[in-house]
Amino acid sequence: MGGVGSPACSQLRSRPCLLPQKHWPPGTQCITKHDHSKPKTHQLAFRKGDIVTITALCEEKGWYRAKHNETGEEGLLSASSVREREAIRIDPTLSLMPWFHGKISGVEAVQALQPPEDGLFLVRESIRHPGDYVLCVSFGKEVIHYRVVYEENRLSIDATVSFYNLIDMIEHYMKDQGAICTKLVKPKPKPGTKSAEQELAKAGWLLNLQHLMLGDKIGEGEFGAVLQGEYMGQKVAVKNIKCDVTAQAFLAETTAMTKVRHKNLVRLLGVILHNGLYIVMEFMAKGNLVNFLRTRGRSVVQAKQLIQFALDISQGMDYLESKKLVHRDLAARNILVSEENVAKVSDFGLAKVDLKGTDISKLPVKWTAPEALKHNKFSTKSDVWSYGILLWEVFSYGRAPYPKMTLKEVAELVEKGHRMEAPEECPPFIYALMKSCWETEPGKRPSFKKITEKLQKQLKHIGGS
Ligand code: ADP
Ligand code: MG
């Protein structure tokens, strides 16, 4: 079968200038523009608004092989019958739990569920027992209130089934009536909120759980495990965020990821609302850059490769800047390496959180620019500072910056003008670059564009020698 690795595709990938205008690499999710109910042989059938995944570019111009996300069928379709899915606009009213009304009374819940409709539901926080939840369900002209008991980190209505979070609980009772009066049918959204699930589905970012196969655990994030997996034949990494409040916070990170597409940024394939939240990303076979460098070391990884990594990262960051996104947690641990040794920036984790609410104690002090540390002034220029620290990590093969110094010492000494020494055998121009990233005055630091140009020039130099 002409799959992802077919000769036609790999050839095309290495000759980007010959590509047709619309070039969608395998894994791209597209939305169909019209019905195509009577497909010819080998063609894919679809209805307007269906989501399909591109699996390969065909040799015949303007055609793709694609897989239908619902049916799982594979076939050909013309480029003109699909459009790429849209970025999700950052919208604070977008909610993973639009049915969660917060602290309202039982009487208010009954009013909210008018007119009666079997299976119409909402969840509220109990006023009398703060911290407890109540599931309110409309059934036969009445509203029934189920107390949700929180015990040993689990939520439960009837003690036979329990859940990590409200999202899972609602998902369960929408499929299975269990011990309650009716299956949940329709969420009653809290006024002023929009269902993230619906918006994600409409824009084409909601993936189908049935097509996801989960494998081994490959990492542990701050908020949950990262698993290897496969989605429609493509290797993926899946971050699972189980806590519903954290999942809601991650929605912002995820919406930021829908806006970007660049060879040096880890690509978001989509999300699934299950077990809290699954964030499905492209799989980066060689893991994070710190481990990559530590486990291989100087004898395996040459300086030229390090410069190439530095260039990859600055290109990704230059693009991020063009999209007006500030990363805020740029560090080698958040750079991932692909099978082909391409470095990509990941973890737009802090790329959004409300600036004023930043908890200083949670900042990665050794990577954070002084003006960001002291006055919360995050900008692309503070990302450039972090990039300088990252360069130091890279050229020291994954050492922790400011060796043997405490966070307090670092903050104080840096403020006084102290900077790290060059790593062992670090090319002088790289050390000069690092130092320029560590200018106290943010305006004096180079832009990612400038950094990119410098590195490209040096690489050419080395390549030619
Ligand atoms: P967090 O920032 O929430 O702590 P990360 O996103 O950094 O978590 O992920 C933790 C680890 O999981 C990474 O260091 C890396 O080893 C692994 N990992 C994360 N995303 C991927 C991916 N797309 N491909 C391969 N490994 C990944
Ligand atoms: Mg991380």
Which of 7-21, 108-122, 257-271, 362-376 tops mean pLDDT? 108-122
What pLDDT was estimated at residue 362? 72
Any atom of ligand 1 within 6 Å of the Cβ of 350: no
Of 16-20, 45-49, 69-73, 195-199, the range with the lowest mean pLDDT is 16-20
Q: Which residue did the predictor score with more confidence, 309 or 163? A: 309
- pLDDT of 127 higher than 90: no
Instruction: Give the CATH architecture of domain 3-82.
Output: Roll (2.30)
- pLDDT of 7 higher than 60: no
What pLDDT was estimated at residue 142? 94
- pLDDT of 20 higher than 50: no
Q: How many helices (H) and strands (E) does the chain have?
A: 12, 20
Any atom of ligand 1 within 6 Å of the Cβ of 240: no
User: DSSP letters of 148-203?
Assistant: EEEETTEEESSSSS-BSSHHHHHHHHHH--TTSSS---EE-PPTT-EEHHHHHHHH
Identify the band that residue 360 occupies on the pLDDT scale cut at 50, 70 and 90. Answer: low
How far apart CA 76 and CA 87 sit, in angstroms, is 25
Name the closest-CA residue to atom 26, ligand 1.
Answer: 287
From the list 329, 354, 359, 383, the catalytic residue is 329
- pLDDT of 274 higher than 90: no
Strands 120-125 and 186-187 turn out to be parallel
How far apart CA 333 and CA 143 sit, in angstroms, is 50
Any atom of ligand 1 within 6 Å of the Cβ of 225: no
Mean pLDDT of 383-410: 96
288 CA distance to ligand 1 middle (Å)? 7
| Domain 94-187, CATH among 2.40.50.140, 3.40.50.300, 3.40.50.2000, 3.30.505.10 | 3.30.505.10
What pLDDT was estimated at residue 254? 80
- pLDDT of 16 higher than 80: no
Range 206-282 classified under CATH 2.40.30.60: no
Alpha-carbon distances, residue 77 vs 19, 44, 316 (angstroms): 17, 6, 32
CB neighbour class for 264 (10 Å; exposed up to 12, middle 13-18, buried from 19)? buried
Q: Indicate if 354 belongs to the active site.
A: no
What pLDDT was estimated at residue 5? 36
What pLDDT was estimated at residue 138? 97
Identify the band that residue 19 occupies on the pLDDT scale cut at 50, 70 and 90. Answer: very low
- Domain-wise residue ranges, the chain: 3-82, 94-187, 206-282, 289-347+358-464
Helix (H) or strand (E) holding 136, with range, is strand 133-139
- pLDDT of 146 higher than 60: yes
Any atom of ligand 1 within 6 Å of the Cβ of 219: yes
Q: Which residue did the predictor score with more confidence, 404 or 11? A: 404
430 CA distance to ligand 1 middle (Å)? 27
Mean pLDDT of 109-118: 95
Any atom of ligand 1 within 6 Å of the Cβ of 247: no
How far apart CA 77 and CA 39 sit, in angstroms, is 9
pLDDT tens digit sequence for 21-52: 467 888 888 999 999 999 999 999 999 988 89
425 CA distance to ligand 2 middle (Å)? 28
Question: 239 a known binding residue?
Answer: yes
334 CA distance to ligand 2 middle (Å)? 5
The 3-state secondary structure of 274-337 reads: CCCEEEEEECCCCCEHHHHHHHHCCCCCCHHHHHHHHHHHHHHHHHHHHCCCCCCCCCHHHEEE
Could you tell me which CATH class the domain 289-347+358-464 is placed in? mainly alpha
Task: Provide the β-strand partners of residue 271.
Answer: 206, 279
Nearest ligand 1 atom to alpha carbon 220 = 10
Mean pLDDT of 352-361: 50
Nearest to 402 by CA among 361, 366, 439, 372: 366
How far apart CA 44 and CA 396 sit, in angstroms, is 52
- pLDDT of 411 higher than 60: yes
What pLDDT was estimated at residue 352? 47
218, 329, 341: residue to mutate for ligand 1 pocket, most atoms within 8 A of CB: 218
SS3 category, 216: strand
**Across the chain, what does the average pLDDT equal?**
88
How far apart CA 262 and CA 391 sit, in angstroms, is 21
Any atom of ligand 1 within 6 Å of the Cβ of 221: yes
Burial 385-407 (b: 16+ CB within 10 A, else e): bbbbbbbbbbbbbbbebbeebee
Any atom of ligand 1 within 6 Å of the Cβ of 180: no
Identify the band that residue 358 occupies on the pLDDT scale cut at 50, 70 and 90. Answer: low
Name the closest-CA residue to atom 25, ligand 1.
Answer: 284
What pLDDT was estimated at residue 359? 59
Identify the band that residue 208 occupies on the pLDDT scale cut at 50, 70 and 90. Answer: confident
Nearest ligand 1 atom to alpha carbon 347 = 6
226, 250, 350: residue to mutate for ligand 1 pocket, most atoms within 8 A of CB: 226
257, 268, 336: residue to mutate for ligand 1 pocket, most atoms within 8 A of CB: 336
Could you tell me if 246 and 182 are in contact, meaning their C-beta atoms sit under 8 angstroms apart?
no
Name the closest-CA residue to atom 17, ligand 1.
Answer: 219
Could you tell me if 99 and 187 are in contact, meaning their C-beta atoms sit under 8 angstroms apart?
yes
pLDDT tens digit sequence for 280-338: 999 999 999 999 999 999 999 999 999 999 999 999 999 999 988 899 999 999 999 99
Q: Using a CB cutoff of 8 Å and minimum separation of 24, what contacts does 209-216 make?
A: 209/272, 209/274, 209/278, 210/72, 211/69, 211/72, 212/236, 212/238, 212/272, 212/278, 212/280, 214/238
Q: What is the dihedral of CA 186, 192, 194, 195, to 10 degrees?
A: -40
Could you tell me if 328 and 377 are in contact, meaning their C-beta atoms sit under 8 angstroms apart?
no
